[in-house]
C-alpha cells in the first residue's frame, strides 16, 4: 500500500553508507607507522628472517653449517633486494610518454614505486 512513507530511511551523516565514503579513521600517528611499514616492508621482513634464523640455528651451539645457512640467507636477501629494486624510467618527460601512447600500437604502462 502506498502511504507515501519510505520503507528505507534516507541516509544521514551517521549512517554506515555515508561513513564509508569518508576517509577511514586512523589513530594519531598510525598513518606514519603504516607508511613506514609499507615503504620498508622488505627490509623489516629480511631483518625478522635473519633474527629468526639466528635464533633457530644458534639455539644449540654454533657450528660451521649454521654459518653456511646464515650466510646463504643473507646473501639471498641481498641479491633479491638488488634484483627486485625498480630501476630508473626509460622515459623522463611526460611528452615522451604521450607520444609513445599515441603511436597506434598497444602500450603497457608500469607504475612502480621505489618503496
Residues 78-104, mean pLDDT to the nearest whole number: 78
Q: Considering Cα of 31, then 33, then 37, then 40, what sign does the dihedral take?
A: positive
> Radius of gyration (Cα) for the chain, nearest Å?
26
List the chain domain ranges.
16-101
What per-residue confidence (pLDDT) applies to 38? Answer: 82
Signed CA dihedral, 38, 43, 47, 48: sign only? positive
Mean pLDDT, range 31-37, rounded to an integer: 81
pLDDT band at 25 (very low <50, low <70, confident <90, very high): low
Inform me whether the pLDDT recorded for 107 exceeds 90.
no
* CA–CA dist 70, 88 (Å, integer): 32
What is 51-98 written as a DSSP string?
HHHHHHHGGG---HHHHHHHHHHHHHHHHHHHHHS----S--SHHHHH
State what percent of residues in the chain have pLDDT above 70.
Answer: 70
Full-model pTM? 0.54
Q: Smallest Cα–Cα separation from 55: which of 39, 37, 73?
A: 73
What distance in Å separates the CA atoms of residue 52 and residue 77, rounded to the nearest whole number? Answer: 14
Amino acid at each position: 500500500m502506498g502511504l507515501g512513507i519510505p520503507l528505507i530511511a534516507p541516509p544521514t551523516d551517521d549512517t554506515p553508507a555515508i561513513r564509508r565514503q569518508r576517509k577511514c579513521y586512523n589513530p594519531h600517528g598510525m598513518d606514519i607507522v603504516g607508511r613506514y611499514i609499507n615503504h620498508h616492508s622488505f627490509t623489516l621482513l629480511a631483518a625478522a628472517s635473519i633474527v629468526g634464523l639466528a635464533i633457530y640455528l644458534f639455539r644449540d651451539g654454533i657450528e660451521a653449517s649454521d654459518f653456511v645457512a646464515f650466510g646463504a640467507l643473507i646473501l639471498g636477501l641481498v641479491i633479491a633486494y638488488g634484483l627486485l629494486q625498480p630501476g630508473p624510467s626509460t622515459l623522463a618527460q611526460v611528452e615522451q610518454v604521450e607520444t609513445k601512447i599515441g603511436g597506434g600500437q598497444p602500450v603497457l604502462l608500469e607504475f612502480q614505486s621505489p618503496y
